[in-house]
Copies of this chain bind each other. A is one copy, B any other.
């Protein structure tokens, strides 16, 4: 779907829940669709799948390693099934990869996630040039009030499960504690999935999506907690920052408070280049699973992206 490519009818959608085994809203939605009336679309085949069953059974992010970092051609191909002691998630990633990667039609992946951060509805796309996915995000976004739904660009692939199809979006909803299911978050994630399918039906039916500008946030810098000489955290997210994902920060913004009570500003821990200093927005503030990744929050840079017209077989 690059800007010079054809955009064909989407024939297949795979919805993954439980890529992380303790993020319950995607898991319970997939279980709902598998056990009751299935998730359906008028114009394409829809499959709901549990991505990491063993982690789901344990109600942990993963059993051996984060499956959402294993989906790269290099990693998938360098291991063989004969290898001893292959981490469970590598085996499962290989399995999913071989199951899905040779599809000749147009397939879309929806990957359902939760976070303890107050992101509300966050739609994740890898590249700012994936105009098809960004049109889909914009369509979803328009069904929510201002500042409720944001579009996050990763800037690069992390080897996530969306890699097994040409296109996909991560649907990240929070705040929800891991291991907890909240009805409000469940409903929000279901609404986002259904809007995604509604968009695909409109696209498949020939609807025109006009050129437009969208606001995006691109991850550019990880910020870690204050730590002691043993690597233990020695401070916490400042009350000024807690729950304030997607709100602008400057160098003088308080971002941490040490256990002893000292405030830490953003410029104490990160050098922000002058040219983007008014465009810096934190996201994934105080996400539980990122403590072990030495990550207290991501800094993103706000930018406008111009989308070309989108219509079946037309994107220019």
Contact = CB atoms under 8 A, between A and B. Distances in A.
Given A32-B259, A239-B184, A260-B36, A177 B288 contact: yes
Interface in A167-184: 175-184
Interface stretch (A100-108, A209-217, A230-238, A265-273): A230-238
Nearest to A292: B59
A186 interface: yes
Chain A binding surface, main DSSP class: loop
B236 A179 contact: no
A35 B228 CA distance: 10
A237 B59 contact: no
A180 B260 contact: no
Contact of A291 (B59, B237, B286): B59
A183 B242 contact: yes
A259 B28 contact: yes
Interface residues of A, number: 36
Given A36-B259, A177-B288, A259-B36, A182 B237 contact: yes
19 contacts: A28-B233, A29-B259, A59-B291, A59-B292, A116-B180, A178-B179, A179-B289, A179-B291, A180-B286, A180-B287, A180-B291, A181-B233, A181-B236, A181-B237, A182-B237, A182-B242, A183-B236, A183-B257, A184-B242
